[in-house]
A and B are shown apart, each in its own frame.
Chain A
């Protein structure tokens, strides 16, 4: 079972009634699994994809205030978006239960930063539960929800990539089906549910009391344990425990070590910290920042202990960036034990010195964005503009790479239009223009408020919404524009064009990204409008994510026909593999183009952009396919 699926299962076993999320790696599969469950169980528990993390936490908090067991899940940076209601939730408390899942991403496999969200727990006075692996993730989720219910306070469940995206066998328990139906009830009591100063002050004091109490009681948390009875204390926090355990057995050091398994990293329970401080030598193994190490040192100092604590501070034995690895933990442990680490840990073999070409992720073959970016470059050249491309988070972030270079800044979800506002008011010179590029899901996430700002403050910028009818990057979740709910029910799709018109954008255009000519014409029109009128314009480019289109075609028994190169017509001009850059097309040694049939999706755009008409389908394509390519939406 995937760690994230185990978490979903744990919530269900605890009687979860309400779940809200915005997808983000590595958290997405939790709510995916919950929505599958809900579909099977006839809409229980209630599950939704919210427009952003702030909305998700607000919704879950509302449900929890009404006495429901609720969770909100997100990736680490999502909690920044949701920070405001999150801090308030700690003051308010709940009458049901509220767990906020934060999936941290050490070494930024698919994120803009590396941040350890256990600090949020310390900062907001919200306890943090950290499973030690996918094995006990289910149990940790179940316990987090029931502890939250017991204390009537929000809890954080923190995972990292290697918990979320690791598959291991997991034992399952019963799901109490009768408990999943939300039956909320709101009992009016302003002194309880409104954070006006007179009540908030009182709540601050209650919060501090709770913190002391929970610091004591979490010591007995079922997932905390002590193994062995050696003279050296090793503190394995979260996933750090797994690395510690294997490192100890590799080094045959079982007799020398007492291993503390810590799943309650914030607050580090007082009794546990005291127990650990009776050792002279302590090694703390945790992924991320030295959050437990720091709390432990505070206690040691209060106790006047002179123990040596090894970890990420002082002369660090473990780095404060990236993920843990056995080699890192084995060599840290060897140092503490005073032994020579095995060579593979001391000097891990390096990648071959020979130069290998990098392979950054790229837009898929047949992705609608490729043809559109190609048209965009042409339109900009035609008008001799020097745009600032204000970029955003999504598949189109890949436009940062050659040959397109159409993302000059990437800040956070929704940042493209926001920062575009700033750029558009300060850039001087007539050739400069601001082009904000955002996806459909991101537009609904947080693109609307900055668009309103642009209209109101007359920011001259072109907003391009790349609408592929889904949230593609995280695996095709629905959003308000798709016309479907998390559990598969059909609803009226929300139109991006109408939203744009509704907030007062006067120039709103729609283009077909698979039709390069059409895209170019509309882009020229929109750019001219922005230049001349000094007002914002919105252009929506609509084409299905090719992965969804391929799946839809397969379901309907339609086989897209791959293209091939007519070598007699191909002159080796290279436009297709340098400027257009479809990954299915590469350069033959003689400079002519070749198509890899295993990669080609048969989108046919190469045939439009080749000036010598060298691309042709292998056989007559089914016209249905070209329709599907433009309109397909994921089926849930």
Chain B
């Protein structure tokens, strides 16, 4: 698609903060005068199911990203990264939380971390792995993992000119209000991790 748009797929397991992540990205883009459309999934997906959020920035009309055309994927979990990697186009980037949540189903076969990453690599030339949840737990709040991933993604240049650290910080303040401080710290932690 054209260079004045950015198609971004955000995935993970329900409850990992994908919708907040998408809202922060959209808000950050709007702050810089870039149009944004965020299509969310709700309802049952909140309960530990697979989640996909479509974020489209720039000159866009339709809410959903067609498979094979996403410029980047931000994945909060490895199985979900592999599941939705087919949305990516050639030359795209995958920013993936190095964290695996086995589906809680009795007798389930879970592929290994390396197998899952292999699938992501078969769709994307550039995979940035970030230990976001581990880092978040180390800091003491697993909920900020999404902002760690965002920091790493901005550092990896997936947002072109649409978003930078200062617009992201401002967006976090607007979206998260009182909880902004630890999230902004997490954002910068993510940037360090992506170095």
Contact = CB atoms under 8 A, between A and B. Distances in A.
A363 B47 contact: yes
Interface string A164-181: 011111000000000000
Interface string B97-134: 00001111111111100010001001100000000010
Contact of A26 (B35, B42, B105): B42
Interface in A151-174: 162, 165-169
A242 B37 CA distance: 12
B41 interface: yes
A162 B39 contact: yes
Given A242-B62, A357-B105, A358-B105, A166 B39 contact: yes
B182 interface: no
A474 interface: yes
Interface stretch (A301-309, A505-513, A579-587, A624-632): A579-587
Interface residues of A, number: 66
A473 B44 contact: yes
B14 A361 contact: yes
Interface residues of B, number: 61
A329 B52 CA distance: 21
A599 B101 contact: yes
Interface stretch (B81-89, B154-162, B164-172, B185-193): B81-89
Contact of B26 (A167, A330, A356): A167
Contacts of B89: 344
B109 A357 contact: yes
Nearest to A111: B43
B66 A402 contact: no
Contact of A358 (B103, B137, B142): B103
Contacts of B102: 357, 586-587
**Most chain B CB neighbours (cut-off 10 Å) among A134, A245, A349, A587:** A349
B49 interface: yes
B68 A349 contact: yes
B80 interface: yes
Given A577-B106, A586-B102, A597-B137, A26 B43 contact: yes
A25 B42 contact: yes
Interface string B19-56: 00011001000100001111111111111111000000
A596 B137 CA distance: 11
A523 to B, nearest CB: 22
Interface stretch (A140-148, A191-199, A320-328, A416-424): A320-328
Contacts of B68: 343-344, 348-349
Interface string B145-183: 100000000000000000000000000000000000000
Contacts of B66: 325-327, 330, 344-345, 348
A343 B41 CA distance: 27
Given A246-B62, A363-B47, A357 B82 contact: no
Given A361-B14, A597-B137, A169 B36 contact: yes
A586 B104 contact: yes
A448 B109 CA distance: 43
A162 B52 CA distance: 13
**Most chain A CB neighbours (cut-off 10 Å) among B14, B66, B115:** B66
A578 interface: yes
A395 B104 CA distance: 16
A350 interface: yes
Contacts of B15: 364
A473 B44 CA distance: 7
Q: Which 9 A-B pairs have the closest CB atoms?
A: A110-B43, A361-B49, A25-B43, A583-B104, A598-B142, A167-B38, A361-B47, A246-B61, A327-B66
Interface of B: 1, 13-15, 22-23, 26, 30, 35-50, 60-69, 79-80, 82-83, 85-86, 89, 101-111, 115, 119, 122-123, 133, 136-137, 142, 145
25 contacts: A26-B42, A162-B63, A167-B26, A239-B63, A245-B62, A246-B61, A324-B64, A326-B66, A349-B67, A349-B68, A354-B115, A355-B109, A357-B79, A358-B105, A359-B13, A359-B50, A361-B14, A361-B44, A361-B47, A362-B47, A364-B15, A364-B47, A473-B44, A578-B106, A597-B137
Interface of A: 25-26, 109-110, 133-134, 162, 165-169, 239, 242-243, 245-247, 250, 323-327, 329-330, 343-345, 348-352, 354-365, 395, 398, 401-403, 473-474, 577-579, 581-583, 585-587, 596-599
Given A166-B38, A350-B67, A354-B115, 4 more contacts: A110-B44, A133-B63, A361-B44, A474-B43
